[in-house]
Amino acid sequence: RAKGQPLELLFVGGLSQRKGLSYLFAAVEALGKAVELTVIGRRPKVTCAALDRALAKHRHIESLPHAEVLEAMEASDVFVFPSVFEGFGLVLLEAMSRGVPCITTPNTAGPDIITDGVDGYIVPIRDVDAIVNRIENLLQNPDSLAAMSAAALATARQMTWERYGDDTVRHLREVLAG
């Protein structure tokens, strides 16, 4: 990120209430011109005027091929995924694999893969102030953002399917051993 340029934030996912987008929109509004938000995701089939108004204030891309989503991640400074509830969500690892630190909630895969304050941040669900605080920290500490980006990449490189398989086998053995 060039000095004086806004921090580029990215969200990728379905545009439903459970994804916590309203909290991200409120955080971005509070941060003003210091940040720019890109949202990649399909609108719900049912029209939502509040969502339409919020999206009109930001860059919204309805859909992209996967390779272009990864390019958008590479062009971003921070991936924000404030989901209220979620399954594992590979999108976090995809962002981290591009050297992009993530801000997410404990109701995602975040706690399983992110070390808070090292390669991303875990914020409480529905907490606009926490999102703002973490983004402000990155704005005020560019060296911290660079270190966090490198750590995110290193973490993602450790999260292989082979490791996942080994961990699953280990956990099953522990359960069977009683």
3-state secondary structure 121-159: EECCCCCHHHHHHHHHHHHHCHHHHHHHHHHHHHHHHHC
Which range, of 28-32, 86-90, 123-127, averages the lowest pLDDT?
A: 86-90
Q: Specify the pLDDT at position 47.
A: 82
CATH entry 3.40.50.2000 includes domain 7-177: yes
User: What's the pLDDT band for 164 if we cut at 50, 70, 90?
Assistant: confident
One-letter amino acid at 22 equals S
- Do residues 15 and 44 make contact, with C-beta atoms less than 8 angstroms apart? yes
pLDDT greater than 90 at residue 162: no
Count of CB atoms situated within 10 Å of the CB of 143: 7
User: By C-alpha distance, which of 122, 121, 119, 123 is closest to 98?
Assistant: 119
User: What's the pLDDT band for 2 if we cut at 50, 70, 90?
Assistant: low
User: What's the pLDDT band for 1 if we cut at 50, 70, 90?
Assistant: low
- Using one digit for the tens of pLDDT, what is the confidence trace for 54-111? 999 999 999 999 999 999 999 999 999 999 988 877 899 999 999 999 999 999 999 9
Average pLDDT for residues 115-144, to the nearest whole number?
Answer: 97
User: What's the pLDDT band for 40 if we cut at 50, 70, 90?
Assistant: very high
Average pLDDT for residues 4-21, to the nearest whole number?
Answer: 92
